[in-house]
Amino acid sequence: MAVTRLWWVRHGPTHEKTMVGWRDVPADLSDRAALARLDAHLPKGAVLISSDLIRAVATADAIGAGRDRLPHHSGLRELHFGDWDGMAWDDIANSHPELSFAYWDDPGDHRAPNGESWNDAAARITAATDALLSAHAGRDIVIVAHFGAILTQVQRALACAGAEVLGHRIDNLSVTRLDHGPDGWTVQAINHLP
């Protein structure tokens, strides 16, 4: 079994000051130099896929040259924040003080109203990732996704608790590289800014 290299890329910045989950907001891709550095860092000839949210789709399109573009995949979306999507942090804390603390301090089965839990999101994103691993074993796979989506897979690779993985930064246009092979997962880089 060959090693499959997953190059997780966080989409371009949205400049939103509120929670953004499944709400479809565009990315600001005006920093052409940053996109050029990202493109140069990622392997040519790789398979390229993105979440179906426009901020990820547009980012993937911007680095698509020389890569085999797959259809967007809803399984790679950000965490679904439900009623919290579009709300400011302080408003969420004021409206749901205990739940909002538990959601981030003890990620697992806590869910935002009408949203999904960390565990639900991790299962969804893991299923999409496993399908990619099966279909493209031994390849380089560039996946343009979101903060939470990437962290669920970092958690998987590190076999750590959700609260522990939330301590990692995942900046816009950063690369997190996770390799999967016969001996399991290897973390090559988290939040690398080319």
CA-to-CA distance for 29 and 9, rounded, in angstroms?
Answer: 14
Residue-wise pLDDT tens digits, 101-123: 999 999 999 999 999 999 999 99
| The predicted structure's pLDDT at residue 178 | 98
Q: Are 56 and 146 in contact (CB under 8 A)?
A: yes
- The confidence band for 1, taking pLDDT boundaries of 50, 70 and 90, is low
pLDDT at 187 over 70: yes
Q: What is the mean pLDDT of residues 33-49?
A: 98
146, two tokens: 């979101």
Please list, in sequence order, all residues whose beta carbon lies within 8 angstroms of the beta carbon of residue 100, skipping any fewer than 6 positions away.
84, 92, 93
Domain annotation for the chain: domains and CATH numbers: 7-192 (3.40.50.1240)
Mean pLDDT for the chain overall = 96
Per residue in 13-29, pLDDT tens?
999 999 999 999 999 99
Mean pLDDT, rounded, for 32-47:
98
Mean pLDDT value across residues 79-104:
95
Percent share of the chain, pLDDT over 90: 97
C-alpha pair distances (Å), 118 with each of 34, 121, 166, 182, 189: 30, 5, 11, 27, 22
**pLDDT score of 167:** 92
Predicted TM-score of the model (pTM): 0.96
Rounded to whole angstroms, the Cα distance separating 190 from 175 reads 7
CB of 54 within 8 A of CB of 146? no
Sheet holding 184-192, edge to edge: 68-69, 47-50, 140-145, 4-10, 175-181, 184-192
